[in-house]
Chains A and B, each alone.
Chain A
């Protein structure tokens, strides 16, 4: 219990740190956010009186520390301000975009995990060293392939040439397939590399020999003995994988013109819509911290060796 509280405390500190860092980077920039509302060529001709009023309306004229405290308190209530561009509350803009991205990321994560697992499993199962090496070389290839290029290739082949799926991802399952695959492939690379290495180490462990000596066949040895031991360490990568999914979503959603957090990020950064950008930074920080917290807290539950033992048995 103490352990969970400690981890929770650390998670909160990370979120607060992310808020502070994003505030410093975004709000204390030399350019005033109000200026950015106007096209560059009109900025010189802004009426100073109107500028002052707008600054006052958004609260940008007060001292930095006061702005910080106000925004922190507001953020604690879930209020990250309103979009400078659309006037929509940040929380609402993110809330609208989030479900689309969650569906995309979840599909991509499932695809990536299955793909990575099959690579690791097959590479360990095969007896032929040549085939095994061939399959083992797939993950590094995936890692090094640029994802924007991959997305474009996928659209070119499957939408324009084969016409199987729409190039622009709308609602429904058919529109989800291509972006999910495009997002899954680069994410599966690092997972596959990790699993492959773990499978090989675990497969070389003496308990595998014990299992064989019971008369178990190779496929079952992999499924019942190696799989769990090899995939547990992959859990610790959860936070990093979520980060990769969100980063990948920006590119994928832009390429497939799919509404979601990625598109929202792209638009907000392009328009220098500071409140939205900060909202997204906070969302990513919270996701990251939550995943890591869940992994930390649940790890002792899935690995019995980490459970606190109150009494041992001795001969």
Chain B
């Protein structure tokens, strides 16, 4: 008998004065004890909505039809208080974002004790004399924190959530989910916000719990690599419906559905080798007729160090964001800076762009050392950031956004010419002309990132720094943007400094790579040799942690 079964479940969101929008359309799915089922889908596929219905955590403006069966009860549409009996004890929930999923003003220990108290209320021997009961709860809390992979629970027991790292918070949430000894775990992208090495540890741990405790797991992810690595069964969702279902073996041997095929092709972890640029119908190179440099290296970073010092409570803390960093980037190639959060990637990028001053060391751009004027620098070097929506003013039209640098730096170019240039740039990033009049707020994530790239290219720079430029995008969109970047590089002979935490995308775009850890370069060489034959333990660990990297399509 299955632990959880959805039968023909449909979920709508209603808003006053609007048509109800359907998030889930007739999904049927079951999870058996000891089974790991993953639901894969891109944003808006309804995967989170579906699994939240299984623990009754849908928002108040949702309406559900069909049957959601937990053990022997149909729980669809139950109130919070009616559902309370099943939550924690039968079904545990691991939320998406560990950063905001713990109460910020409660110590960690209290938060897990709450969960235990809910369950153990009935087992109290006497209504008074709580000493023994409290002691039991405390030792149980320690046990579950250890079970979730926190080796020293007493050290964090009295800490508040903001004092823990993201990985530790996620483990606390796993401990809370396990503390009710549920038969079924529901996890909503439990590792998407974490570094790859931490992601691997946590997924390994869930796997272990499944084998040892025999609990069923329903895991939602946008990463097909994770699903292929771990799942007994994979369910692909799109626009609220299931498009394909099968084992990971079946998926690798050939998928029936076109959409799954595209997802599989787009998954960076499953790729080998660099993307080949496709020809681009080259428009007149934007607003730049200035002479391009002929130096061999576009970026040369030599022995750069930077230390940040903060004072808190009278005690000085210093963090080495860059420690004697050196690397060179040949003109027209891509150099990737790879590392986990806190490795100093962004600091180095800011030093290269002249936004942060280094403590020591030298940066040569296009063969020239010394200080660059702001104006000269912005014509030669541009940034593309991770989140296009926060770097584009939502009230500007796309045409204005794309030509904003021209308006600032090239006063000699008139309004009408600017519009012409905007259209050419949209051609370059393969965005139809009709978008020129749209506002940035009306664009999808992929379209907005195209606009951000077009804007970076408008002054015809030679160097573009891509700071996690594809990390926030869905895999299929990510693949398109990476391909576009490869095309543009060939067409405009650009040099990329590509900053990412994701080793999977490195091999698609980078010619050379530097692996960073805690501000220093662990390994730096051409991409094929670093990824194919890593010399350092840390690099091996990083490569090993990329989901789907061991699989062959």
Contact = CB atoms under 8 A, between A and B. Distances in A.
A213 interface: yes
B81 A217 contact: yes
Contacts of B80: 212, 217-218, 221
A308 B87 contact: no
Contacts of B103: 207, 210-211, 225, 229
A313 B173 contact: no
A63 interface: no
Given A209-B95, A224-B114, A217 B84 contact: yes
A305 B119 contact: no
B156 interface: yes
A232 interface: yes
Interface residues of B, number: 52
Interface string B146-170: 0000000001100110111101100
A305 B118 contact: no
A48 interface: no
A214 interface: yes
A9 interface: no
B395 interface: no
Contacts of B179: 214
B330 to A, nearest CB: 37
A210 B85 contact: no
Contacts of A229: 103-105
A206 B100 contact: yes
Dominant SS at the A interface?
helix
A86 interface: no
A308 to B, nearest CB: 4
A213 B176 CA distance: 9
Contacts of A129: 60
A224 B164 CA distance: 22
Interface in B105-128: 105-107, 111, 114-115, 118-119
B84 A215 contact: yes
A216, A303, A312, A315: most-surrounded residue (chain B CB, <10 A): A315
A229 B106 CA distance: 10
Contacts of A212: 55-57, 80, 83-84, 87
B543 to A, nearest CB: 20
A214 B111 CA distance: 10
Contacts of A224: 114
Given A212-B80, A213-B55, A315-B165, A308 B115 contact: no
A310 B315 contact: yes
A215 B163 contact: no
Contacts of B96: 206
B162 A305 contact: yes
Contacts of B173: 210
Interface string A288-315: 0000000000000011110011101111
B105, B119, B162: most-surrounded residue (chain A CB, <10 A): B105
A216 B118 contact: yes
B177 interface: yes
B101 interface: yes
Interface string A10-40: 0000000000000000000000000000000
Contacts of A213: 55, 57, 87-88, 92-93, 95, 176-177
A315 B167 contact: yes
Given A216-B84, A302-B105, A314-B165, 8 more contacts: A209-B101, A213-B55, A213-B87, A214-B179, A215-B87, A217-B80, A308-B313, A309-B312
Interface of A: 127, 129, 205-207, 209-218, 221, 224-225, 228-229, 232, 302-305, 308-310, 312-315
Interface of B: 55-57, 60, 79-81, 83-89, 92-93, 95-97, 100-107, 111, 114-115, 118-119, 155-156, 159-160, 162-165, 167-168, 171, 173, 176-177, 179-180, 198, 312-313, 315
11 contacts: A207-B104, A210-B95, A213-B177, A214-B87, A229-B103, A304-B107, A304-B160, A305-B162, A310-B312, A313-B155, A313-B159
